[in-house]
Amino acid sequence: MTACIIGWAHTPFGRHSEETVESLVTKVAREALEHAGLEAADIDEIYLGHFNAGFSAQDFTASLVLQADDDFRFKPTTRVENACATGSAAVHQGIKAIRAGVARRVLVVGVEQMTTTPGPQIGANLLKASYLPEDGDTPAGFAGVFGKIADGYFQKYGDQSDGLAAIAAKNHKNGVDNPWAQMRKDLGYEFCRTESEKNPYVAGPLKRTDCSLVSDGAAAIVLSDVTTAMQAPRAILFRAAEHVQDFLPMSKRDILAFEGCALGWKRAFANSKTSLDDLSFVETHDCFTIAELIEYEAMGLAKPGQGGDFAMSGETRKDGRLPVNPSGGLKAKGHPIGATGVSMHALSAMQLAGEAGGIQVKDATLGGIFNMGGAAVANYVSILERIR
């Protein structure tokens, strides 16, 4: 038993040209404190997840959290970054501060504002999360990197277009009921499966519906030690919090296996004394549908090469055996890089507290989270359980 989530806040994800990184950060910081029933003076340490890589002119952003309340002044505050897993990296630093005994209550904020950046620059910024000596000239940017992964998977295991369309359709259907989602539209399987003017190929076998959205947004959670959490209105315990970092070059590993993801889940289940069968739902990193498909295999839901068949089975639907991405995932919810991991933890805590509204999974007792940075380079797995 290490730390608990005792409060959270979440902006809608999407295009927020009227906002700034600062306004997004301060909004969720205040709302998370209020939700936890705390004042700024009660917080011992602050972590901000903010990828940036050129999205924001303001690059020294840790102290922007202090703009939310003058009582944050002089609190230890640190910006954390680990590509698309930046939010979870910030969460894990907060857990470590509590585990070390240097903090009882920690505020974690994740933020990104991407849509104010011109399209070509967005692609260049995201490609910085790849190994540039090998992938720096990849057409279509980071989508091209995952297009190459999809090509390799198709060559080894056969055409998986049906499975990818099933994942996209599932996540878009789930996103309809998520008030924080960027795209709340049920596109349907046939639309996701069929190439069209509105759904063209983007990279390799990946179509537009296979790619997550460029987003602005922020999320925040308040962490505390277990003893303190038992006095809070709600307490969602981290049964496990695992971080596995892999090589950056894809040439140094089996990129179709997502070995860091697999090891993260293996350690999380072992350390939490749980198994895949114990989970009520999973929020997993579907930056591209091929990623979710391979993650099924890495976490043990399907054997290698059978992720597409598993996607078609319906077992990961909201009413299936193990709902995956009941929030709509990155595919429908959006993917503001620094906010994504914090969002996944906030929404999973909502599920376990029975406060998830239209996306609520019935009788949810144990939730799993997988957030990754790069192409399965930074791998973070959490297992959460409500204890109050």
- Tell me the sheet residues that pair with 8: 221
Place of tokens 């308040």: 222
Of residues 84, 192, 261, 287, which has the active-site annotation? Answer: 84
Q: Catalytic annotation on 50? A: no
Q: Catalytic annotation on 172? A: no
Is beta strand 281-283 parallel, antiparallel or unpaired with respect to 366-373?
parallel
Is beta strand 201-203 parallel, antiparallel or unpaired with respect to 77-80?
unpaired
Q: Looking at residue 2, what is its pLDDT?
A: 83
User: Edge-to-edge strand order for the sheet containing 4-10?
Assistant: 77-80, 45-49, 105-113, 216-224, 4-10, 236-245, 378-386, 366-373, 281-283
Of residues 16, 92, 243, 335, which has the active-site annotation? Answer: 335
**DSSP-assigned states of every residue in 322-366:** S-B-TT-HHHHH---HHHHHHHHHHHHHHHHHT--GGGPPTT--E
Per-residue pLDDT of the chain (388 residues; tens, 9 = 90+): 589 999 999 999 999 999 999 999 999 999 999 999 999 999 999 999 999 999 999 999 999 999 999 999 999 999 999 999 999 999 999 999 999 999 999 999 999 999 999 999 999 999 999 999 999 999 999 999 999 999 999 999 999 999 999 999 999 999 999 999 999 999 999 999 999 999 999 999 999 999 999 999 999 999 999 999 999 999 999 999 999 999 999 999 999 999 999 999 999 999 999 999 999 999 999 999 999 999 999 999 999 999 999 999 999 999 999 999 999 999 999 999 999 999 999 999 999 999 999 999 999 999 999 999 999 999 999 999 999 9
User: What is the C-alpha separation between 204 and 123, in angstroms, rounded?
Assistant: 16
Whole-prediction pTM: 0.98
CATH number of 4-117+214-229: 3.40.47.10
3-class secondary structure, 70 = helix
Q: Looking at residue 212, what is its pLDDT?
A: 97
- Could you give the C-alpha distances from 360 to 140, 196, 316, in angstroms and in order? 36, 33, 14
Q: What residue ranges do the domains of the chain occupy?
A: 4-117+214-229
Q: Looking at residue 1, what is its pLDDT?
A: 59
